[in-house]
Amino acid sequence: MKLVYLVLDGAAGDPNLGKTAYMIADKPNLDSLAYKSKCGLMYVIGKGIAPESDAAVLALLGYDPINEHPGRGPIEALGVDIELKEEKEVAFRGNFATVDPLTKKIIDRRAGRGINKEEANELASLIDGIQLLNGKGYAKVKATVGHRVVVVLGHKEKQLGDEVSNTDPAYERRGKVSVALENFDATIKPCIPLNQDEKNRITCELVNEFTERAIKILSSSKVNESRLKNGMLPANAILLRDAGTGKAKMKDISAMYSNLKFSALTEMPVEKGIAKAAGMKMIDVSSISGERKHVYEQWALKTIEALSVSDVVYVHLKGPDEPGHEGNLKLKTKIIEDIDKYYLGSIVKYLEKEDIAILVTSDHATPCEKKAHSDSPVPFLLYSKNFSDGDRIKRFDEVECKSGSFGLISEGKNLLKTVLSFLKML
């Protein structure tokens, strides 16, 4: 038996707030799969926790998202092949954002999301390599996808700690993980040490000086001059979150699951970094771009190819999350429909012919009404053609899956082992 593990990023919503994209979408493949599948609902990390994708994906893969978390900063750095010097460098996930340079009020946490690759690389190059703390410290900045950057702060002599707060007010640091906040004061926060350790204080000095310097340099950049001229928001600040030091290390995922072979198809640095740290075979999809129809059909082909060399193929599609953050229910629904039509439409017949199971879920809910991640439980379905007793659920959504035979899973970290055991793959 083999398994396709399909994660639709942020696709779930909260039916208590209104009809969700899953409920509205015309998704014949997901709905007919649900009818023949065993379904359920799941708190990905736990009730009351609105996870970021990093902790959520760790849980979906069976890691403890709190105690086995290598830190999002190092994960994103690994995702874009940045090596970290242990305890001499700290990595952060960053956002290009738009702020009022005087008040540090945040106008847009993502500078309107309209940053193209050339602009992002040009802006990053202006602050990459700046010296800090009178030459004792330094910054490395790498643009990744859209408004996202990886920032590495280093010190030439002193040890650095990673127990420091976020300057990005939208995510609150709780131990190794950050949780999404529904309400927050949209102002860049000072970075403060989370304990008295001297090395954390030094990291905070680096962060706060870097934040100030970045605003000054970016605000006077030619890129932002032309963005303003074209009526776009300037990307004149970097919001930092999820500090981590040292290489992202995780248990080898094959060793966790009876030496099953895992492959991964991912889009974003965070999922790429997790898959690499877990020891998965990375399937290169970087050359696939263009219209969603083409992208999803190509991803389906790559999934089928990966199945020839893997027992489990992890597929993480980012699509539905961003319109969730923008509150755009229409676009979120359309993207789910396109995934259903072009990805699942290209693979379901193959799975049935080859007797391959598929597990479909989300890493978290991103309800359009909240424009943020929420702790709402996410629906999942497990399909295998051998199931004679599917749940006869008519639609794949948050309401219908509640009555699925898997019931409500309280912690997503138990899902994969449960499913692999159920499929007798362990």
Ligand X SMILES: O=C(O)[C@H](O)COP(=O)(O)O
The contact set with ligand X (CB under 6 A) reads 53, 95, 110, 148, 170, 321, 325
**Residue closer to ligand X (CB basis): 227 or 325:** 325
**Residue closer to ligand X (CB basis): 148 or 158:** 148
Q: Across the chain, which distance is largest between two alpha carbons, in Å?
A: 69
Distances (CA, A) of 141 to 79, 131, 151, 154, 324: 14, 12, 5, 11, 27
Distances (CA, A) of 169 to 30, 119, 150, 181: 36, 24, 17, 8
CB of 246 to ligand X, least distance (A): 22
**Residue closer to ligand X (CB basis): 29 or 95:** 95
Is residue 236 within 8 A of residue 46, CB to CB? The reply is: no
CB of 383 to ligand X, least distance (A): 27
Distance CA 174, CA 27 (A): 37
CB of 49 to ligand X, least distance (A): 15
Distances (CA, A) of 84 to 76, 91, 296: 11, 8, 34
Tokens 């776009």, located at residue: 232
**Residue closer to ligand X (CB basis): 73 or 390:** 73
**Residue closer to ligand X (CB basis): 303 or 366:** 366
Query: How big is the CA angle at 237 (ends 133 and 176), to the nearest 5 degrees?
Result: 75
CB of 47 to ligand X, least distance (A): 21
**Residue closer to ligand X (CB basis): 163 or 321:** 321
Is residue 213 within 8 A of residue 127, CB to CB? The reply is: yes
CB of 95 to ligand X, least distance (A): 5
CB of 53 to ligand X, least distance (A): 5
CB of 145 to ligand X, least distance (A): 8
**Residue closer to ligand X (CB basis): 10 or 404:** 10
3-state secondary structure of 258: coil
Is residue 238 within 8 A of residue 149, CB to CB? The reply is: yes
In this structure, what are the phi and psi dihedrals at residue 296, rounded to the nearest 5 degrees?
A: -70, -35
